[in-house]
Amino acid sequence: MMHILPYFAALFPSVAGLSISLSLELGATQPYKAPQPYKAPWETLPPTPPLPEANFNGTAPINGIDLWYATFGAPLEESQANGLNPVVFLHGGYANSDYWSHQVEHLKDGPFTLITIDSRGQGRSTDDTSRPLTYDLMTEDVVALMDHLEIPKFSTVGWSDGSCISFDLAMNFTDRIDRIFAFGGTYSPNNINATAAESPVFLEYLDRVGKEYEHNSPSNGTFEEFGERIDAMWSSEPTWDAGSFSKIPTRYDDPEAPILWIVDGDSEEAVTRDTPGVLRSWVWGSDLVILPGVSHFAFLQDPDTFNVVLTRFLTMPSFVTEDIGYDRNHGPIPLIDASSHRISLQGAVKNAFNLSVSDLRSLDQHSMICALQCAGNRRHAMRTTIKEVQGIDWFDGAVMNCRWTGPRLRDVLLKAGVSLSAEEKKKAQVEFACHQNPSPEEEWFGTSIPLEKAMAEEADVIIALEMNGKPLEPKHGYPARIIAPGLAGVRSVKWLDRITVQLQESSNHYHQRDYRVLPPDVQTSEQADPKWSEAPPLQEMPLNSAICLPRSGSTCKRDKNGTVEVKGYALPGYAAGPIQEVEVSADGGNTWEKAKLSENDGQDDGDLKWAWHRWEIRMPMDAGENQKLLSRATDSKGNKQEAQSQWNLRGIGYCGYGEVNDITIS
């Protein structure tokens, strides 16, 4: 052996102190190892880890079978004494409780009692082949086990079939349910993705669960025989619609109603992409969360992000509207130590420097109410009223109205000193970047806005540290994010770690090849390729309104005066708040009735420049089916909402009339 570090250190004394021993056997050749190609999380199926040690595991005699379950975490008496209901984990088809191992491990040292169940015929539970497998039967199994354990009320975390069981519980055993976290669920066999069986990840999953079945199952039958039973169920169930989900009370009518989160991955391969949005629209007051970079197996593919979101769900207050907010990311949610976090300010400035969170708090703080909305808010309306688009099927809920607090970006830029000529400043951009976690398309996320907007005091762009008077939560950008009022939500970069003043727009994929308004003649991704650089990035969001109640497909009962309650929200155009008027039509826009605007909790008009306005009206309507309601808003500059906006491939910036259809009035 020949040690080469002394020789290397003699040539380069600066490395002499390194405690490294490099050795190379003379004459030996080192085998070449080709770098492994990168695979996004959604392209993988990580191993199924074993469950941690349980407080108890075994079976209970339930509805003619031996149902296997295990308990973890706090003792039941202790968690119930603290006012916490047990959390029941329900797995997907063919699987077993082990698939929840990452989540159980994450939560087991906390205050909750955790219960995992192997559904009948799956995992370590026995089967009764004399009875067809149905969601109702598996739902009854869960309720019977809770009765066996003397648990009156509980929460569920469901995946796929487990989500369907959770929905069934919410519809038919509402008073037993505290909250439901439904990941990858559906409402009809027609929503199963026809290409799911061709997915390499799904094929790997089927191979894995077949082996697990042979290892775990106490039944005498084969995996193929059980497959026939579950396939028979999947071919005909569930058969739910808006009316089915209307059985679930809403938190706006009943504070004791279940909290329901509809959750899915942005690369979901098992159910169609519009399914989560439809489900969310059918349960008014529910929340929609789309996890980035993952598929039907997110809890294995990115357990850290999944666990952060799940923990937030389990610990959120039962009925606090300020905690309801849409959540859209282009990468995993990072957990950042605020004490060591730094934001670099660089580029065309006289004084480049790094800012700590303490530095930001030492600056003058500016607070404002701002409605932050995704560029794709109301994409579903563009898809259904004009034609198909690309992107997550957001309905009308990708918006939240919050009070944001932090120093003005203008003050930070003035401190740095922009080193550009007056002419250069007119075309300059300020880029915001996050390097905390890779996004699906790049190793970092970034976008930019015009320097003139960043420097304008009246534009109110801030580096936000607080949301509704509290430090930002991780999912909303902790410890610091940009809030650019009136601009598309993508411009308000979370987990901010770099600000750059530059002459060109951001080079990041999400600025160059997304969130741009492509011309209507661009109909496909292939046609879009040469057009991205020509299309303008969506910056200013348009005047808009939406009807939130009643929901499309619902049935409404008139009061004694022949009116129906209609509620919604309206958003001003850029810097054009507050909303001045909202009108509602029940005859296709021929006549309009003026709605009542909310009082906005005593805020004066100056506070509502960027805010939404809620509105309501008792609308006269005739009895009948297939009825439609429209809404339109007017802002402080006299702009009136248009009937329909221009179609674009990515479905962004839709601002046509608010609309609900297929309403039955009785």
Tell me the average pLDDT of the chain.
89
What ranges in 221-297 are assigned the alpha helix state H?
A: 223-234, 242-245, 275-282
Complete DSSP assignment for 328-339: E-SSPPP---TT
Containing 597, the helix (H) or strand (E) segment is strand 596-597
The crossing angle, in degrees rounded to 10, of helices 135-148 and 161-172 is 70
Question: For every residue of 507-531, which 3-state class applies, written as one string?
Answer: CCHHHHCCCECCCCCCCCHHHHCCC
Residue 4 has pLDDT above 60, yes or no: no
Give the pLDDT score at 329.
Answer: 81
Residue pair 391/651 in contact by the 8 Å Cβ criterion? yes
Instruction: Report residue 252's pLDDT band, with 50, 70 and 90 as the boundaries.
Output: low
Q: For 27-36, 156-165, 388-397, which range has the lowest pLDDT when averaged over its residues?
A: 27-36
> Would residue 24 count as lying in a domain?
no
Give the pLDDT score at 257.
Answer: 83
Whether residues 97 and 209 fall in one domain: yes
56: helix, strand or coil: strand
Whether residues 250 and 103 fall in one domain: yes
> Would residue 4 count as lying in a domain?
no
Whether residues 526 and 597 fall in one domain: no
Give the pLDDT score at 553.
Answer: 86
Domain boundary, last residue among 514, 534, 554: 534
Residue pair 185/167 in contact by the 8 Å Cβ criterion? yes
Give the pLDDT score at 319.
Answer: 33
Residue 9 has pLDDT above 50, yes or no: no
Domain boundary, last residue among 534, 569, 595: 534
Give the pLDDT score at 24.
Answer: 34
Instruction: Report residue 317's pLDDT band, with 50, 70 and 90 as the boundaries.
Output: low
Whether residues 348 and 450 fall in one domain: yes
> Would residue 277 count as lying in a domain?
yes
Domain boundary, last residue among 490, 515, 534: 534
pTM of the model: 0.63
Domain that holds residue 582: 544-665
Q: pLDDT tens digits for 454-511?
A: 999 999 999 999 998 889 988 899 999 999 999 999 999 999 999 999 999 999 999 9
Give the pLDDT score at 654.
Answer: 96
Q: What is the CATH number of the domain that holds 427?
A: 3.90.420.10
Give the pLDDT score at 421.
Answer: 96
Q: pLDDT tens digits for 216-245?
A: 999 888 999 999 999 999 999 999 999 899
> Would residue 264 count as lying in a domain?
yes
Q: For 48-52, 203-207, 315-319, 583-587, which range has the lowest pLDDT when averaged over its residues?
A: 315-319
Whether residues 162 and 264 fall in one domain: yes
Instruction: Report residue 303's pLDDT band, with 50, 70 and 90 as the boundaries.
Output: very high
Q: What is the CATH number of the domain that holds 554?
A: 2.60.40.650
Rg (CA), the chain: 27
Whether residues 383 and 428 fall in one domain: yes
> Would residue 333 count as lying in a domain?
no
- CA–CA separation, 629 vs 616, rounded Å? 13
Residue 632 has pLDDT above 60, yes or no: yes
Whether residues 488 and 565 fall in one domain: no
Q: pLDDT tens digits for 375-423?
A: 999 999 999 999 999 988 888 888 989 999 999 999 999 999 999 999 9
Instruction: Report residue 100's pLDDT band, with 50, 70 and 90 as the boundaries.
Output: very high
> One-letter amino acid identity for 582?
V
Q: pLDDT tens digits for 18-31?
A: 333 333 333 444 55
> Would residue 420 count as lying in a domain?
yes
Q: Which two tokens stand for residue 152?
A: 């009156």
Whether residues 69 and 202 fall in one domain: yes
The total of structural domains in the chain comes to 3
Which residues touch 526 (CB under 8 Å, ≥6 apart)?
none
Q: What is the CATH number of the domain that holds 279?
A: 3.40.50.1820
Whether residues 384 and 527 fall in one domain: yes
Q: pLDDT tens digits for 557-589?
A: 899 999 999 999 999 999 999 999 999 999 999
Whether residues 254 and 360 fall in one domain: no
Mean pLDDT computed over 346-366:
96
> Would residue 331 count as lying in a domain?
no
> Would residue 6 count as lying in a domain?
no
Whether residues 151 and 268 fall in one domain: yes
Whether residues 209 and 301 fall in one domain: yes
